Each structure stands twice: as C-alpha cells, then as structure tokens.
C-alpha cells in the first residue's frame, strides 16, 4: 500500500495528446522539457521551473512537447487540502523546489512515512496550495461551437504570419459581426487578444524548448519587431522574454 504522499521522478519522450487521471492530487514539476496541458475547456503551457497542481479524479490531456524529466508528488485527498481549481499552473518558489528535492527519497514503494517525511510533505502541500492562488497567465480558453473551434485552429495555424480578422471570418463562413460576438461569448476575449495569447504561448514554448535567439522567436511567432514582441510578452507574463528564459535556471 502506497503512503499518504510520495515522490516520483520520470523521463518521457515527446508524445501526442493523451488523457491522464489519478485518484490523488498530483503536483507535476517539469525539471526539463515542456508540456501542454488541457482541462475543462482551457489550455496551459508548462515549461521548466513551473508546476501544475491537478485535482484527484479529474481527467486532463497532456502533450509532451520536448523530452521531459519530471518530479511529481502525489498526495492522498485526506492528506492535502482540496486544490482551488481542477488544474492550476504556477511559478515554483525556491522553497517549493527545495522541498521537492527533499521528498525525492520517499517513493510509492515506501509503506509509511517517517515523522520527518510527513512534515516535509505537509509543508510542501501547504506551500503548493498557496502558490496555486497565483496562477500562470499562459492559458487559453477553449471554444465551444464548431465555427469557433475552426476559427481558433485557423488563427493558431496562421499566427506566425499576418492573419486578419476578416480573412478568418471569411474562411470559417461567418460574418465579422457574428464572429466577433462568438469570440466575446465563448472565449471572453476579442480575436486580437486570442491571437496575441496564441503567439505568447508559442513563444513560451520556444523559449523553454530551444536555444534560438529571442529575435528569431519573435519573428517565428508573428511579431515584426523585437520591441513589439518584448512589450506584448511583458504585458502578458510580467517579465521580459530573457528574464523568463533565465527563470528556468534559477
């Protein structure tokens, strides 16, 4: 029988979308590599130095974008308080990272936790629940209607270029007025805001998974100038692209 809390270190090769569900609250911490997570109509990017807290018994979809090394901690529902959301992605603090490192010797094969181990896992649980109150901004709502799904998919496919609102509406057989209304109703955002969010999420993935120059990344996700990219990235992520990349190693 597994203990109330335990830690698992694993490595994964890049892989397409797959459904994931466990009967414990699940802390997923990416030591290396980047993951895309989807749950309850939203999509997150989880790069290194970030973590995801997933509620027990809730299915999520995981896509491994680059070779992944993860440190996961699983908590029995009666050991950890109920997470505030089904899935939350957040920045890891130095304290949380050190607690995970300290947990690594207690895996699923341990029958019980020592008093010291219990205190470490309890402290990690409290810290993680507190960190989850400040979720990452790198999230995109999922559309509901077939027309909106096609519009968002097409916007994502063309985001590296110069798509226009009118072109997307025309290619998805919608009037501009009708599509604007659907974006507001289903996404809670304008089309321009969705396009910017898609570009920033693609940039987050590139910053985490490649060594490309920031100027190259800016151009690859659809920005014509480094200054425009830096301004949009800082507005969304509250730090510059270079600061964001450096945070993976801090």
pLDDT tens, position by position, 98-111: 999 999 889 998 88
- Residue 248 has a pLDDT of 64
- Give the Cα-Cα-Cα angle 44, 47, 49 (nearest 5 degrees): 120
User: Same domain, yes or no, for 12 and 49?
Assistant: yes
Domain count along the chain:
2
CATH number at residue 158: 1.10.10.60
Average pLDDT over residues 15-21: 89
Q: How far apart are CA 5 and CA 118, in angstroms?
A: 8
- Residue 56 has a pLDDT of 96
User: Same domain, yes or no, for 157 and 181?
Assistant: yes
Q: What is the span of the domain harbouring residue 195? A: 143-247
- Residue 250 has a pLDDT of 56
Beta-strand runs (E) in the chain: 5-12, 15-20, 25-32, 35-39, 42-46, 50-54, 60-64, 68-75, 87-91, 139-141
Q: List helix spans (H) across 42-175.
A: 94-103, 115-131, 146-158, 165-171
Question: Is the Cα dihedral 221, 227, 228, 232 positive or negative?
Answer: positive
Chain centroid to Cα 53, Å, comes to 10
CA atoms within 13 A on the CB side of 226: 7
In a domain, 138, yes or no: no
Domain end (from 82, 102, 131): 131
User: Same domain, yes or no, for 124 and 176?
Assistant: no
User: Same domain, yes or no, for 172 and 236?
Assistant: yes
Domain end (from 111, 131, 151): 131
Residues in the chain: 250
User: Same domain, yes or no, for 57 and 9?
Assistant: yes
Closest of 146, 140, 125 to residue 205, by C-alpha: 140
**Does the pLDDT value for residue 231 go beyond 70?**
yes
In a domain, 75, yes or no: yes
Q: How far apart are CA 250 and CA 245, in angstroms?
A: 10
> Are 44 and 87 a contacting pair, CB within 8 Å?
yes
**Does the pLDDT value for residue 249 go beyond 90?**
no
User: Same domain, yes or no, for 170 and 210?
Assistant: yes
Q: Compute the mean pLDDT over every residue in the chain, rounded to the nearest whole number.
A: 90
pLDDT tens, position by position, 162-196: 999 999 999 999 999 999 999 999 999 999 999 99
In a domain, 38, yes or no: yes
> Are 213 and 236 a contacting pair, CB within 8 Å?
no
- Residue 210 has a pLDDT of 82
User: Same domain, yes or no, for 125 and 12?
Assistant: yes
User: Same domain, yes or no, for 72 and 164?
Assistant: no
In a domain, 136, yes or no: no
Domain end (from 131, 152, 180): 131
The pTM of the full predicted model, rounded to 2 decimals, is 0.72
User: Same domain, yes or no, for 118 and 232?
Assistant: no
Closest of 86, 70, 98, 83 to residue 131, by C-alpha: 83
Closest of 27, 64, 38 to residue 205, by C-alpha: 64
Beta-carbon contacts of residue 94 (< 8 Å; ≥ 6 apart): none
User: Same domain, yes or no, for 80 and 53?
Assistant: yes
Q: How far apart are CA 80 and CA 123, in angstroms?
A: 10
User: Same domain, yes or no, for 126 and 11?
Assistant: yes
User: Same domain, yes or no, for 159 and 192?
Assistant: yes
In a domain, 167, yes or no: yes
CATH number at residue 59: 2.60.120.810
């Amino acid at each position: 029988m597994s203990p109330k809390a335990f830690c698992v270190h694993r490595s994964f090769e890049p892989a397409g979308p797959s459904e994931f569900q466990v009967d414990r609250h699940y802390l997923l911490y990416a030591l290396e590599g980047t993951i895309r997570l989807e749950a309850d109509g939203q999509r997150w990017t989880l790069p290194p130095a970030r973590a995801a807290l997933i509620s027990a018994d809730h299915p999520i979809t995981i896509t491994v974008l680059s070779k992944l090394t993860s440190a996961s901690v699983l908590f029995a529902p009666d050991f950890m308080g109920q997470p505030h959301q089904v899935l939350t992605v957040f920045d890891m603090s130095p304290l949380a990272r050190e607690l995970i490192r300290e947990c690594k010797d207690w895996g699923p094969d341990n029958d019980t936790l020592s008093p010291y181990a219990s205190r470490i896992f309890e402290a990690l649980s409290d810290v993680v629940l507190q960190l989850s109150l400040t979720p990452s901004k790198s999230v995109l709502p999922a559309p509901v209607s077939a027309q909106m799904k096609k519009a968002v998919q097409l916007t994502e496919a063309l985001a590296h270029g110069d798509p226009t609102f009118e072109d997307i509406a025309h290619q998805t057989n919608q009037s501009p007025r009708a599509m604007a209304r659907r974006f507001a109703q289903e996404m809670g955002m304008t089309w321009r805001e969705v396009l910017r969010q898609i570009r920033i999420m693609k940039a987050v993935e590139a910053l985490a998974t490649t060594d490309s120059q920031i100027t190259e990344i800016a151009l690859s996700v659809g920005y014509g100038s480094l200054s425009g990219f830096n301004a949009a990235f800082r507005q969304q992520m509250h730090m510059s692209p270079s600061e964001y990349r450096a945070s993976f190693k801090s």
